[in-house]
Chains A and B, each alone.
Chain A
Amino acid sequence: MSAGAPQRKWRVATVSLAGCFGCHMAFLDLDERLLALIERVEFDRSPLTDLKTVGPCDIGLVEGGLCNAENVHVLRAFRAQCKTLVAVGACAITGGLPAQRNHLRIDDVLRAVYQQRPGLAAGAAVPDDPELPLPLNRVHPIHEVVHVDHSLPGCPPPADAFWALLTDLMAGRTPRLGPGLIHYD
């Protein structure tokens, strides 16, 4: 890095929608490379900062698909604020594990879990607190709702894939995943 004026840091936001945070854990597998990374980036909304809203960013990394209305609001905010939006992992790209409920009716699923399962307390009902986001009829991958610029496949994507994507973007290159960095499991 040049010894001249300090470079502007890249602003990066990350979120897990209908995901398991496994992609975020894989991101942390960058290990000591995280130290090099934070010389170049600062985090906006992310589990790493615990900020609750997303501001203007260069890169948004979205883990998980869309299973409820709140997921859709957060995704749209990310799209509006991030110059480059990246779908990270199988769930963001294909719906993934949560989408395995898509051939079932959501009301049947909720009743089976909260009302009909053995061992529930008497009078158990499907939660309907107004603060709970409403589930969608089907789980969707994020490209069905907003434009996605890049995708990192994998369950989770390997840390090397995160590294390749971020270093390519910060070098002004179109990201390319080299041999062995594309897998779907």
Chain B
Amino acid sequence: MNDPGPRFSLDGEDVPFRPGETVLEAATRAGRHIPHLCWHRGFAPHGSCRLCMVAVGGRLVAACSTAAEPGAELTLHSEALARERRTLLQLLFVEGNHFCPSCEQSGSCRLQAEACEAGMLGPHFEELYPARPVDASHPDLLLDTNRCILCGLCVRASAQVDGKAVFALGGRGLGTHLVVGSASGRLADTDLAADDLAARICPVGALLPKRRGFAVPIGQRRYDRVPISAQPEPDDGLAPGAVPPAGAEAGR
């Protein structure tokens, strides 16, 4: 009478799940890596980057916002899905200014690590080279929106964990941008602090601590030796599901 509990299949391997879990939550808990950028185990899903898509019954669904169903047969790795994922990553790269050689986050950047893992060799599309601002006004933090991928993690962390609501996403379509919640629009005029979760959660190099620079040599950075798929989720002290779905993001 040892009921193994509900399971779904991911690329033919059984993944157990608890009732109410999403595909991405269950897979992560089982030690499987599903590529993702806007998802964080502490928060309700955002569903915006689409990198976590899996195929089920001929359809593509975002694993972060799809409930796990017993007996479901999901495909994560296939030639077609790899191509879709590369295309999504290429679109993310050409929409911003992701100049890896000059970025302090290079080697520890989730966008870069997922793109390397996906075998992205180039942008394929035309580069947009958007004109985006850099805000260096804060004494301890640098905001370089050239690298922002609009994942909304700093927005959620600031509003739901730090209780400050320093950030928001404004605009639509290609005009969507990160908004800093102060009258001047400057980071220095908010109460964002360097040890806030919002200041530590950026998956790319858009929001970085000052005076760290290239402290870790090339070859020893987080994703230099072990690909992102073989590493556990980074631990930033926020437990899985710590922040329940809330109305804190009304309007988006």
Contacts and interface: CB of A to CB of B under 8 A. Distances in A.
Contacts of B120: 182
B121 interface: yes
B122 A100 contact: no
A156 B101 CA distance: 9
B99 A183 contact: no
Given A96-B101, A182-B116, A103 B131 contact: yes
B218 A184 contact: no
Nearest to B94: A94
Contact of B103 (A87, A97, A185): A185
B127 interface: yes
B100, B115, B124: which has the most chain A beta carbons within 10 Å? Answer: B100
Nearest to A99: B129
Interface in B107-125: 107, 112, 115-116, 119-124
The interface centre, meaning the residue of B102, B129, B227 with most chain A CB atoms within 10 A of its CB, is B129
Given A90-B100, A103-B129, A151 B122 contact: yes
Contacts of A143: 122-124
Nearest to B128: A102
Contacts of B218: 185
| Interface size classification for chain A | 20 to 34
Contacts of A177: 119, 121
B131 A94 contact: no
Interface of A: 87, 90, 93-97, 99-100, 102-103, 138, 140-141, 143-144, 148, 150-153, 155, 177, 179, 182-185
25 contacts: A90-B101, A93-B123, A94-B93, A94-B98, A94-B122, A96-B99, A97-B101, A99-B127, A100-B97, A100-B99, A102-B129, A103-B131, A103-B132, A141-B122, A143-B122, A143-B123, A150-B121, A151-B121, A152-B121, A155-B100, A183-B116, A184-B101, A185-B100, A185-B106, A185-B107
